A and B are shown apart, each in its own frame.
Chain A
Amino acid sequence: MTRTISALHIEPEKCTGCRQCELACSWVQTGTFQPSRSLIRVHVFDEQASFAPYACLQCDEAWCMQACPVNAIDIDENIGAPVVIDEVCVGCKLCVIACPFGTIFFDKTTERAAKCDLCSGDPACAHACPTDAIRVETTDPGAWLEPFGEKVDTSYRNAITGEGE
Chain B
Amino acid sequence: MRLLAGLRDRLAGGSHALEVDASSVRDLLTRLVGESPDFRAAEELVFESATRDRAARDLRILVNGRSVQFLAGLDTNLQSNDTVTLHLTGARGYPGG
Q: Direct contact between A and B in the complex (CB less than 8 angstroms)?
A: no
